[in-house]
Amino acid sequence: MTDTSKATPNTIGRRTLLIATGATAASLAVTAAAPEAPTAEVTDAAPVAPAAAAVCTLTKEMTEGPYYLDGQLVRADISEDKTGIPLELTLTVVDDDTCAPLNNALVEIWHCDALGEYSGFVGNNGHDEPDNGTFLRGGVLTGTDGVAEITTVYPGWYRGRCVHIHVKVHTDVTLTDDGSFTGGQELHTGQLFFDETITTRVATLATYAANTVPRTTLAQDGIYDDGGAASGLLTLAALGSSPSAGYTGTLTLGVERS
């Protein structure tokens, strides 16, 4: 199934998203008129520490897309047995009015595997593989610092969309006995994006090169709007000397609590 909303970027309600790439909640400061967001840094070295006061940049939310499934597992590692290079995500959630970190907020993500297939919808990108309905789905609760750390694999791509990860932020959820969650308030729906320089390297690896669908680039995508970090572009850093070692991805998300 193709993401039918790709041709027309849209917003969801009146909620907005605040993003300051690589900054911790403690270093954020709101300005009366935020400048245009810079492009997220991509580096093959360890991430550079942010400036003492980063600017909070407001941007619109992005479409949920057609592949969301309710009630996924609360877990720090969503990779299961999927092949692909490691991706270590560090997402910091803050309140957009005060820049204070949000404690106990559930950060939920979902994305396709190296072949562009989503769990629960395998076959929509033309590849045949087992489908348990849970791989590459789940989320974790933030700590007092607003940080959610999630381990996964670098996503592949499917027809008509660039490489991306979907994300939601919920508050006041109830954890269930089966390791999932229910209830709460959904504060944000958005997407995380990857610099083309890194994706081009990753796409040459055998696991990703097996994807038979032509890859849509960031510039060709109908949802990413070239807004840099303000539109969910991750700051990526290499975990080793070659792409096969994987990457870290960091971003600070600010959400409206009302």
* Amino acid occupying residue 49: A
Report yes or no: 40 and 234 within 8 Å, Cβ to Cβ.
yes
Over residues 237-252, the mean pLDDT reads 96
* Amino acid occupying residue 242: S
Q: pLDDT (tens digit, 9 = 90+) per residue, 36-89?
A: 434 444 445 444 333 333 445 554 589 999 999 999 999 999 999 999 999 999
Dihedral angle of Cα 75, 80, 83, 89, to the nearest 10 degrees: 0
Identify the top-confidence range among 139-143, 230-234, 252-256: 139-143
Helices and strands (H and E) in the chain: how many: 2, 15
Residue ranges of domains in the chain: 16-255
Report yes or no: 213 and 159 within 8 Å, Cβ to Cβ.
yes
User: In angstroms, rounded to a whole number, what is the distance separating the alpha carbons of residues 13 and 188?
Assistant: 10
Report yes or no: 120 and 67 within 8 Å, Cβ to Cβ.
yes
Between 255 and 86, the more confident residue is: 86
Identify the top-confidence range among 23-27, 47-51, 153-157, 222-226: 153-157
User: In angstroms, rounded to a whole number, what is the distance separating the alpha carbons of residues 112 and 131?
Assistant: 12
The rounded percent of the chain whose pLDDT value lies above 70 is 76
User: In angstroms, rounded to a whole number, what is the distance separating the alpha carbons of residues 186 and 183?
Assistant: 9
Looking at the DSSP bridge assignments, the partners of residue 55 are 29
Dihedral angle of Cα 42, 12, 3, 92, to the nearest 10 degrees: 30
Q: pLDDT (tens digit, 9 = 90+) per residue, 110-159?
A: 999 999 999 999 999 999 999 999 999 999 999 999 999 999 999 999 99
How far, in Å, are 52, 144, 158 from residue 127 at the CA level? Answer: 47, 42, 11
The 3 state secondary structure assigned to 116-136 is CCCCCCCCCCCCCCCCCCCCC
Cβ neighbours around 200 below 10 Å, total: 12
The pTM is what?
Answer: 0.81
Dihedral angle of Cα 117, 123, 127, 130, to the nearest 10 degrees: 80
Q: Indicate the burial class of 86 (C-beta count within 10 angstroms; 0-12, 13-18, 19 or more).
A: middle
Report yes or no: 49 and 21 within 8 Å, Cβ to Cβ.
no
Does domain 16-255 correspond to CATH entry 2.60.130.10? Answer: yes
